[in-house]
Structure 1
């Protein structure tokens, strides 16, 4: 039988079933969208978690667990067991091999967002992701005592703009029960560009400002009968007495274990230092159940998607019984029928996969900023992961296998069964 005639006949058959085939392509596209979407969410979730801090060689704080130290310094979750003295921070700067030290002071909040007291060196040395520095979306860093630089999520959620005045509250909860610092308002001078890290949810002020709002407080409670106004506070010595923790950068990363040993054996007070990367891996082992759940969901979606693909093909068997019998009666061998059906299945599956990938890319580009601002989930376009390649290969294989089912059916049925009218 003429192959070109057979192909032309198959093309006319496909065109005659264009609506059914379009539904099949849409089904495969939806399966691809769900599979790759879940896998992309899983990988980007871990990437966002592990990229919260980079370029910092050691994190130093009072002796506690490494996970707890990481949580309150990087993710601003929980509280420190104790502060470290300012004199200890100054001594850390003098250690051999230390390039820079950025002190951090925590404990206050604004509308549920943590407040971080630090120095201008924080904006110079803090890195996230692939050694990316912090960038200002607009405005400038704090210069005056009552200046504040806010993260992108703080600005977007609360609708803040440059030169807007805000007040801070004592404690880390959304409800402060009157324990606020309304007598010393701050002016927003800068808004940081979005990073997809806890920086986006943080209000940054200077260490001196952190001291200023607590000059008439003691152990977290306002001193009764004592009120020091904001202008009077400017005249006071606002050098911090203690800070919560510190970030350290080294001149040579090869000396990290030597410096870590010096910090852990610090004589003036009990301190501990951790490697951020190691602590992040330990923390992910604890909270990584979400990743395992997404991986399981991805596998279930793959199973359901492939079962749905086979079901769609099987649903069209009855309408193709007569067509396949006609092809065989016209002289097509079983090999020709199987080859045409396999080619049709591969092309349909590839069309569905390409459509699904395009739909996912469009959603990431259009809905990515909204997902990040609303749920804090940063989805990025990138090269497919090995798992995604495996899922795509599984879809393609399932489409090819499903396309052979009509051929096997045609082989088992007689020509008379396919050509006889059904009553």
Structure 2
């Protein structure tokens, strides 16, 4: 009866209530959307690499090494020599070592040289391993395995020709069109930078930078099988992903690599580097949360103004309720209930609209930003957030409820 009466009262003032409801919906949409996308983006970044104990590169900061080796952002300060990589392979504490080499691009997508071990050992999102949707891994010198976004955006299928470009810009004036690659495989979608990467063999990436006559001479003698082409192994690589036999030894191996007397190297723990990255970006997180909170508070002020302005118009309604025996406390809670109903409906509209947009916008976000955003926004709405929401709405309606209470007492 109490709720039914409050609903009828709101319907009677439907015009002003509707605009207040829209303002409340917009503010909740922004607040929940910012928080949900912030958490999902953080999860997506965290899921970009898993099962790698150490990342080794030239001496640089932890964040820089993480960014260019995992997220393909930025440039390395230097390369790692082949002798240092070989020393890592010979270390009895290291179970596997996967090299990567960066530098070229293809139509705006980064090209990464590696070995077939990359597809065997590299994992993401709690040790989910890469899998081929179509085709095979590298077998020939000029085979290329592309990520799902590369295939979708450029329309490539197995067997298509791919021409690499020098440099990492979207537009390049130097193309290696004298040695085109062939798409041998397409990876399944991962929601990580792997989807936006063009993978080639280390030998293939090195070969396109050599004179054409030398390449032809070697291929005529040995064929194009990767197992026979030691001549094209590069003398330096960008970084190395390491998996250890025992994680207990991770700090010991890290210190050993960082103090390498032959070459200045950096060995980082991916999880620690990710934490440092988010600490660096925490100021932006806090600014976004503050802006969304201010938008929500402004809508609450609008709710307060609407309820206050309606009190004088509802003096007859209040007197009528008093005449039929409603106590002054009833009037107070009646106004509070109206505010909570508006907030509840606004939140329902906002959350439904946000879920709908995320559900149908997931493919766009993956294709253009490489970020997987779940449409399930309930995981961002904790009990603490819900309790704070009710408390703020209650506080916003406190002034008009007290005015109505005093009006009922007189």
Please indicate the TM-score interval, normalised by the length of the shorter structure.
0.7 to 0.9
8 A contact 1:38–1:297 mirrored in 2: no
Q: 1:205 aligns with which of 200, 208, 231?
A: 200
Note if contact 2:101-2:238 (Cα within 8 Å) is conserved in structure 1: yes
Match of 1:420 in 2: none
Q: How many corresponding residue pairs?
A: 403
Selected match of 2:162 from 162, 166, 188? 166
Cross-structure match for 1:341: 335
* Aligned-residue offset at 1:123: 1.2
User: 1:113 aligned to 106, 109, 127, which one?
Assistant: 109
Aligned residues of 1:147 and 1:186 also touching (Cα < 8 A): yes
Which secondary structure does the structure 2 equivalent of 1:301 belong to? helix
1:31-50 → structure 2 map (5 Å cutoff): 31-50=27-46
Shift of 1:394: 3.3
Give 1:365 shift: 1.0
TM-score (norm 2): 0.86
The answer (yes or no) to whether the contact 1:325–1:410 under 8 Å persists in 2 is: no
The structure-2 alpha-carbon separation of the partners of 1:243 and 1:233, relative to structure 1 and needing over 3 Å to count, comes to: farther
Alignment of 1:100-249 (within 5 A): 100-177=96-173, 179-216=174-211, 228-229=215-216, 232=220, 235=223, 237-249=231-243
TM-score (norm 1): 0.84
Write out aligned runs for 1:10-409 (5 A).
12-17=8-13, 21-177=17-173, 179-216=174-211, 228-229=215-216, 232=220, 235=223, 237-382=231-376, 384=378, 389-409=383-403
User: Aligned partners of 1:409, 1:60: CA distance in 2, in Å?
Assistant: 67
Determine the C-alpha separation between the residues in 2 that align with 1:7 and 1:62.
67
Aligned residue for 2:226?
none
Distance of aligned partners of 1:139 and 1:288 in 2 relative to their CA distance in 1, 3 Å threshold: farther
**Take 1:311 and 1:207, find their aligned partners in 2: how far apart are those partners?**
67
**Cα distance per residue 1:189-243 (max 9 Å; x no partner):** 22223333222221001112112212228xxxxxxxx574495496463233322
Secondary structure, aligned partner of 1:108: strand
Whether the 8 Å CA contact 1:106–1:116 is kept in 2: the answer is: yes
Give the Cα–Cα distance (whole angstroms) in 2 for the partners of residues 408 and 18 of structure 1: 23
Contact 1:250 1:256 in 2 (8 A): yes
Name the stretch that deviates more: 148-157 or 115-124: 148-157
Q: Which runs of 5+ in 2 are unaligned?
A: 224-228
**Matches of 1:402 and 1:23 in 2, distance apart?**
17
